[in-house]
């Protein structure tokens, strides 16, 4: 143990110039990630507003699990994840299958078109959808009334949560699509050519060769998309503010309101800790179900 510590210190000392260059990143990680994470755990056991009022142990967690609004937020969040994550991964995989064999100029066009909403501000995207879904002058209701039907209250109905799922889907289609197209371009063409020579059909090549080779990429996308969907915030804030009657309120949005509107930082920290363990548990479960190979393409 002493030799290992000495060896590690020697390597750090001999390569100190490299550590000097990454020092700003290390400092930012400590200040913006590690320290807030530790404080969140501490605050979750406190009754804290702007100042500490006292230690309450697990009372914040107990109160949350008794709170029907927190149960609804959990349900809404899991509805987002269960519907949106598989749909995004499957649809982007199928679309990438059609785009990846195209010529370079066509692939560039589709990558740019699908990735444009990702690089655009989430606020701008949300405002565009707010205008599209407006009951009085929105484009969607203009089309609906042109067909002789009654206007739909897109953002004030019992189905609002599912309309928001579609909106978030349009935001998040670009990144998985880009990753899948790049990964498919790195698959050795000799494998596909040999399969065609042996008489394999396109469906067989897709599910017996392409998909297994992309299993690490699929696992990565399942994990990152799950985290992304759990953290959806801007769309809910600008389009519904969690309404109507909290039917679109998610954990992250409830956490925001608890901390910055009601100034209950202890309770909000407990929500953050619960959310952390939920995401961690789902990521481990996805690793078990989807699997991960050592070879990536």
Name the helix (H) or strand (E) containing 55: strand 52-55
d(CA 58, CA 161): 32
The residue with greater pLDDT, 244 or 90, is: 90
CB 240 within 8 A of CB 164: yes
Give the confidence band of 51 by pLDDT, cuts at 50, 70, 90.
Answer: confident
Q: Which of 64-68, 266-270, 289-293 has the lowest mean pLDDT?
A: 289-293
Summarize the chain as % helix, strand, coil (round to 5). Answer: 75, 0, 25
pLDDT at 294: 47
Kindly list the domain boundaries of the chain, sorted by start residue.
2-43, 61-290
Beta bridge partners of 55: 46
Q: Read off the pLDDT of residues 144-192 as tens digits, 9 standing for 90 and up.
A: 888 888 888 888 887 888 888 888 888 788 889 999 988 988 888 888 7
Bond preceding residue 37 cis, omega within 30 of 0: no
pLDDT at 269: 93
Q: Read off the pLDDT of residues 119-149 as tens digits, 9 standing for 90 and up.
A: 887 788 888 888 888 888 888 888 888 888 8
Give the confidence band of 42 by pLDDT, cuts at 50, 70, 90.
Answer: very high
Was domain 61-290 assigned CATH 1.10.3720.10? yes
Closest CA to 175 of 132, 129, 134, 223: 223
pLDDT at 188: 82
d(CA 255, CA 4): 44
């Amino acid at each position: 143990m002493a030799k290992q510590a000495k060896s590690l210190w020697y390597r750090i000392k001999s390569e100190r110039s490299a550590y000097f260059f990454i020092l700003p990143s290390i400092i930012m990680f400590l200040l913006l990630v590690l320290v807030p994470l530790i404080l969140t755990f501490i605050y979750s056991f406190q009754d804290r507003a702007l100042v500490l009022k006292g230690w309450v142990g697990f009372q914040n967690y107990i109160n949350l699990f008794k709170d029907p609004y927190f149960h609804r937020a959990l349900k809404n969040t899991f509805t987002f994840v269960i519907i949106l994550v598989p749909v995004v991964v499957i649809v982007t995989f199928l679309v990438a299958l059609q785009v990846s064999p195209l010529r370079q100029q066509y692939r560039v066009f589709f990558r740019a078109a699908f990735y444009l909403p990702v690089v655009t501000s989430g606020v701008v995207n949300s405002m565009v959808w707010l205008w599209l879904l407006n009951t009085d002058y929105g484009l969607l209701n203009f089309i609906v009334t042109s067909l002789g039907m009654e206007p739909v209250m897109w953002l004030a109905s019992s189905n609002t949560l599912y309309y928001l799922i579609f909106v978030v889907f349009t935001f998040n289609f670009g990144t998985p699509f880009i990753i899948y197209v790049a990964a498919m371009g790195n698959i050795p063409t000799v494998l596909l050519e040999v399969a065609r020579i042996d008489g394999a059909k396109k469906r067989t090549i897709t599910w017996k060769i392409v998909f297994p080779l992309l299993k690490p990429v699929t696992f990565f996308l399942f994990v990152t998309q799950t985290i992304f969907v759990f953290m959806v915030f801007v769309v809910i804030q600008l389009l519904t503010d969690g309404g109507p009657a909290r039917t679109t309120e998610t954990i992250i949005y409830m956490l925001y309101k608890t901390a910055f509107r009601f100034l209950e930082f202890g309770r909000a920290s407990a929500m953050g800790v619960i959310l952390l363990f939920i995401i961690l548990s789902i990521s481990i479960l996805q690793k078990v179900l989807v699997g991960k190979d050592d070879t990536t393409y």
